[in-house]
Chain A
Amino acid sequence: MKKGLFIVVLAGLFVLLVSSILKMPSLGSVDNPSYNETATYYLENSVEEAHAPNVIAAIITDYRAFDTLGETTVLFTSIAAVISVLSINHQDKKKGGDING
């Protein structure tokens, strides 16, 4: 009974997802809604405004440099968390006289 319900729900979800995939615009088509005026602006003006032929570098370190600062902060926070969790053992071992790294 429960298994049949699961199968019905999953089949409904499958039909929904596949039909939504079939409705999507094809890959690389010009009518794709992600090719809006923002992308056109970047492609036309990034060489002139940032002097960088690599448009992605111009976007992530010039137009969206503040987002990249946030991304770098995420890396910094994660490494701080990892060190603070994993180096507790290290401190205990050092007390025993064995110096390691």
Chain B
Amino acid sequence: MDDIIVKTITRLIVPFIQVYGIFVILHGHISPGGGFSGGAVLGSSMILFTLSFGLPMASRKIPHKVTSILETSGILWYIIIGLAGIYLGGKFLVNKEAGFFMGQAGELISAGIIPLLTLGIGIKVASTMITLFHTIIEED
């Protein structure tokens, strides 16, 4: 699509969508939202970018290799956090008994493994959306 209005609006609005997605992911343990919804918002921002600027430009911004690595590392990060619970003396994916930093309830850095797991899920879902869309509209 070669339309200057769409391109300008996209260039203006994509950073705001991405900031909102990152906000939803990082505040997953305080406010409504979490990994799945924040990751979907992040992924749809990149889908909007692809729709208005075309696949070659979007592939230069975020190549297929990077999304594959992000996708694999999201789930590996989740499993590593779970194994850290075993290493610190608890069960798989245990939170409070393993002695993670709990902090004050309601602050941004608190609640042990919950923000870390939410971050992993968010990255995973966002890269899944981007990879799915790029794979479907490829070679046109």
Residues of A near any B CB (own CB < 8 A): 47, 49-54, 56-58, 60-62, 65-66, 68-69, 72-73, 75-76, 79, 82-83, 86-87, 89-90, 93, 100-101
Contact = CB atoms under 8 A, between A and B. Distances in A.
A52 B59 contact: no
Given A57-B114, A87-B135, A73 B75 contact: yes
Contacts of B136: 86
B84 interface: no
B28 A54 contact: yes
Given A51-B105, A51-B111, A69 B82 contact: yes
A64 B139 CA distance: 41
6 contacts: A51-B112, A54-B29, A54-B32, A61-B113, A75-B125, A101-B134
Nearest to A54: B29
Contacts of B113: 61-62, 65
Interface residues on B, range: 35 or more
Contacts of A83: 131, 135
B117 interface: yes
Contacts of A87: 135, 138
Contact of B111 (A50, A65, A76, A79): A50
Contact of A79 (B30, B59, B71, B118): B71
Contact of B114 (A52, A72, A75, A90): A52
A65 B117 contact: yes
Nearest to B81: A65
Contacts of A75: 124-125, 128
A71 to B, nearest CB: 9
